[in-house]
Amino acid sequence: MEKTHREVAMQVAFPEVEKHPNRLPFEGCLTLVDEPSDKAPSGARGHRVVLTREAAEAAMPSLLGMAVDYKAGWDGHDARQKCGIITSARMHGRRLMVSGFLFARDFPEMEERMGGARATQSEMGMSFELADAHVADMKASVWTLTRATFTGAAILLKDKAAYRKTSFRLRRQCRG
């Protein structure tokens, strides 16, 4: 019998500003819970990881207001290249979904990359940034994260992400 989970969601409300030139809405799947990563994330010393649902749900409040970053080449993280903010998080099945705004005017290359002929949004994914992570058994081949604090997220190519089933897309229908 499959275990069902309650929907967990939270958000920070920003006032709507019609056609704001620096707010470009986005949404994405930041990670999967209770599922091993496809490859070892940075900082995991070569170990694949599993973020438990319980740890993800407990850490969700730490996502709100955290920055989204990117690295030139779209192949990793650059915490000093903050290009947006996370304003909501929710669990959808095994997917931890986030949404927020990119700073479109400050980082025009973001919109160019997402809408340009070079790459489509379907190639883009996300990756989380953590602090204070607790690993259940440091000797295990796959580390189980039972506690953590989210410190941000990165937008990158899916094939560079630890979880290749993540996603990232612009929500063009409105600017907030």
User: At 13, is the pLDDT very low, low, confident or very high (cuts 50, 70, 90)?
Assistant: confident
pTM over 0.75: yes
- The 3-class secondary structure across the chain, one letter per residue, is CCCCCCCCEEECCCCCCCCCCCCEEEEEEEEECCCCCCCCCCCCCCCEEEECHHHHHHHHHHHCCCEEEECCCCCCCCCCCEEEEEEEEEEECCEEEEEEEECCCCCHHHHHHHHCCCCCHHHEEEEEEEEEEEECCCCCCEEEEEEEEEEEEEEEEHHHCCCCCCEEEECCCCCC
Which of 49, 51, 44, 42 lies closest to 69, judged by CA?
Answer: 42
Class of domain 9-170 as given by CATH: alpha beta
pLDDT (mean) for 97-124: 79
Residue 174 has pLDDT above 70, yes or no: no
The pair of three-digit structure tokens given for residue 19, joined into one six-digit string: 């056609």
**How do residues 25-54 score in pLDDT, each as one tens digit?**
999 999 999 999 999 998 899 999 999 999
Q: Mean pLDDT for the chain?
A: 89
Per-residue pLDDT at 113 exceeds 90: no
Where residue 115 falls among pLDDT bands split at 50, 70, 90?
A: low
Confidence (pLDDT) at 19 = 87
Query: What span, in angstroms and rounded, lies between the C-alpha atoms of 79 and 69?
Result: 6
pLDDT (0 to 100) of residue 175? 44
More confident call, 94 vs 13 = 94
Closest CA to 151 of 80, 70, 62, 58: 62
Q: What is the pLDDT of residue 16?
A: 86
Query: Kind of pairing, strands 95-102 and 82-92?
Result: antiparallel
What's the confidence (pLDDT) of residue 5? 65
Q: Where are the domains of the chain?
A: 9-170
pLDDT of residue 150: 97
